[in-house]
Amino acid sequence: MAKLERMFALDHRAAQGHFPGNPIIPGAVLLSEALKAIETDLGVVLFPCQVKAAKFFYPARPGDHLLIECTGKVAGEIKFACTVGGKTVLTAHIKCDAIPTRT
């Protein structure tokens, strides 16, 4: 199991209109950032991939520190969960054919 981290900037552009006075990181951005962190850690390209399941439990906000825990194979299926301050914000299950970026 890999444990990865990501930080959302206080002025993250995706949160500017999402929602005024109560900004959150949109779910699509949260999912994308988690996948980018997993790609970087594994040294692969996961796109295109098929999202088998994704569930959002709690909003992530600008300034939040995201902890990503993932399990699975580089090529095949990967499951991951994202937490902020101990609260689960996202769980997901993807299927992909990973392409190595490192030699």
> What CATH number has the domain bearing residue 33?
3.10.129.10
**Domain of 16, in residue numbers:** 2-100
pLDDT digits (tens, 9 = 90+) for 4-21: 999 999 998 888 888 888
Domain count, the chain: 1
Residues 8, 66: contact at Cβ < 8 Å? yes
Whether the model clears a pTM of 0.85, i.e. scores above it, the answer is yes
Q: What is the pLDDT of residue 74?
A: 64
Burial of 70 (0-12, 13-18, 19+ CB in 10 A): buried
Number of other CB atoms surrounding residue 34 within 10 Å: 24
Please classify residue 38 by burial: count the beta carbons closer than 10 Å to its beta carbon, then call 0-12 exposed, 13-18 middle and 19+ buried. Answer: buried
DSSP state, residue 15: G
